[in-house]
Structure 1
């Protein structure tokens, strides 16, 4: 069965973006970027892959899920199909139709759709954001790959929205971790059944 992986960047106080949705506070450069990109080249937007000459096959993911606000970030930067090298889904109850022919809209019951996708054959499923969607999909998240930046933002969009309402804590264990010279920690967690 395919795995759903929430692969995201976060501050040490648990924010993935400012309240307005900006991610400009995450530093660009350093030694973490090339190392992580080499391992997960499919997590770069298609335009970035083309600009820097990345033409590697998808290694870990062949499908990407994103919430409307995460997708809107791509639209603001000039693309409605940010990951053309992946099967793309946008989860939104407010969009009247798919924002792009290459993007499938999930308008209702994203948990059921994720369960269906997990039964299909293929590589992993990447949840690239946002926090509110991660909160909804937490029961199906198998892994969390966290790029943890040594930044305290104070406020913003939280890693899991306004917080999951759980009857029982969702437990994960660290499967690997690496701290880069630039201070970014890349920690992989796997759900404890």
Structure 2
């Protein structure tokens, strides 16, 4: 059973390219707020993130834009993008795909990778070496659908002032230690719960919007 609870601040949703662009931090976490194991190991391989259950069908149906192209092809997801057309990624998150032989997991999106050390990437990826906040402000002014940050925690901490929404896929597991959602120094900020979807798998989808 899927239970949905909507907060008072819930958005009325997306309306194509007329919708004001927002940056959404779209991230999976454990109960104790970790997005990856220490050293960057994939939590799906150790069972920290549940890859089976009713939450997966909901993710495929409503958030197919955020899936890597391999998953979209396997699921037969095609057609126009509905929520997001741009993805942001940090170096470590990007390199975790490269070592698996996937130089660009998001060929269906405009893909930016932020790094001061990377000198090359897939032709479909745009490297950003300069001021990350300034670049994101520029991207948000361009025409398009939503923008989502897929990882990692260090880039999320840097971009916090420009994050409009935080979409948390919270798994009912505890990691104990690892890479936190926001990994680095930043000023505390306030968000409010706008949407909560509860699944029989024990996973929660929580959407928070920047307060005010």
Q: Which TM bucket (shorter chain)?
A: over 0.9
Deviation of 1:77 (Å): 2.4
Once residues 161 and 100 of structure 1 are traced to their aligned partners in structure 2, the CA distance between those partners, rounded to angstroms, is 26
Deviation of 1:83 (Å): 0.3
SS for the counterpart of 2:207 is strand
Once residues 39 and 143 of structure 2 are traced to their aligned partners in structure 1, the CA distance between those partners, rounded to angstroms, is 37
**2:211 matched to 1:192?**
yes
**2:150 matched to 1:128?**
yes
5 Å matches for 1:1-193?
Answer: 1-21=20-40, 22-23=42-43, 24=45, 25-97=48-120, 99-162=121-184, 164-166=185-187, 169-193=188-212
Once residues 54 and 107 of structure 1 are traced to their aligned partners in structure 2, the CA distance between those partners, rounded to angstroms, is 33
Gap regions ≥5 residues in structure 2: 1-19
Once residues 145 and 35 of structure 2 are traced to their aligned partners in structure 1, the CA distance between those partners, rounded to angstroms, is 25
SS for the counterpart of 2:60 is helix
Once residues 169 and 62 of structure 2 are traced to their aligned partners in structure 1, the CA distance between those partners, rounded to angstroms, is 13
Once residues 148 and 193 of structure 2 are traced to their aligned partners in structure 1, the CA distance between those partners, rounded to angstroms, is 18
Once residues 169 and 34 of structure 2 are traced to their aligned partners in structure 1, the CA distance between those partners, rounded to angstroms, is 11
Deviation of 1:13 (Å): 0.4
SS for the counterpart of 1:114 is helix
Please provide the CA RMSD for this pair.
1.0
SS for the counterpart of 1:146 is strand
SS for the counterpart of 2:71 is helix
TM-score (normalised: structure 2): 0.86
Gap regions ≥5 residues in structure 1: none
CA deviation string 1:63-100 (max 9, x = no partner):
00000111112112221111000000000111023x11
Tell which deviates more after alignment, 72-81 or 84-93. Answer: 72-81
Once residues 51 and 159 of structure 1 are traced to their aligned partners in structure 2, the CA distance between those partners, rounded to angstroms, is 29
4+ long deviations beyond 4 Å: none
Once residues 35 and 41 of structure 1 are traced to their aligned partners in structure 2, the CA distance between those partners, rounded to angstroms, is 9
Q: Does the 8 Å contact 1:41/1:56 carry over to 2?
A: no
Instruction: Provide the aligned length of Structure 1 versus Structure 2.
Output: 189
SS for the counterpart of 2:111 is strand
Once residues 150 and 57 of structure 1 are traced to their aligned partners in structure 2, the CA distance between those partners, rounded to angstroms, is 33
